[in-house]
Amino acid sequence: MTAKTWFQTTAIDYPNSRPHIGTAFEKLGADVQARYRRMEGFDVFFLMGNDENTVKVSKRAAELKQDPQAYSDDMARQFREVWTSSKSVTTPSSRRAASGTSSAARSSSRRCTTTAHREGKVRGMVLRGL
């Protein structure tokens, strides 16, 4: 029998500041839902991401005298470190390490400043089910 597919997403974070309890609250709830669906036998695809194309991000980078892309890269690293170190939210990399299941490999974190996103390839990947 083929497993049903469950797509779990979160709102994309605006990384104009470090991750905080508000961003964690949503990720924890989404993670609980994804884990529950896996236990029910669903093939789960769990997507998180950052939206770095905002005025607030540009303003914050300017305040810190940083290039917006360099600032966004650092914030993406900080968000990734929080989710991977907490072990409360099973991020794509921690899921792959913890489980060899296909649903573990069908998890992702996306950034809106990647070349694939700018070129419109992300929409195609989502439509194909990655």
What's the number of CA atoms in the CB half-sphere (13 Å) around residue 29? 8
pLDDT-based confidence at residue 40 (cuts at 50, 70, 90): very high
pLDDT at position 105 is 38
* pLDDT tens digits for range 107-127: 555 555 566 555 655 556 556
> Where is pLDDT greater, at 86 or 85?
85
> Where is pLDDT greater, at 122 or 27?
27
* pLDDT tens digits for range 67-78: 988 998 898 888
Q: What is the rounded distance in angstroms from the CA atom of residue 106 to the CA atom of residue 45?
A: 5
Q: What percent of the chain has pLDDT over 70?
A: 64
pLDDT at position 125 is 55
In this predicted structure, the answer to whether residue 50 has a pLDDT above a threshold of 50 is yes
Topology of domain 5-122 in CATH is: Rossmann fold (3.40.50)
The pTM of the full predicted model, rounded to 2 decimals, is 0.61
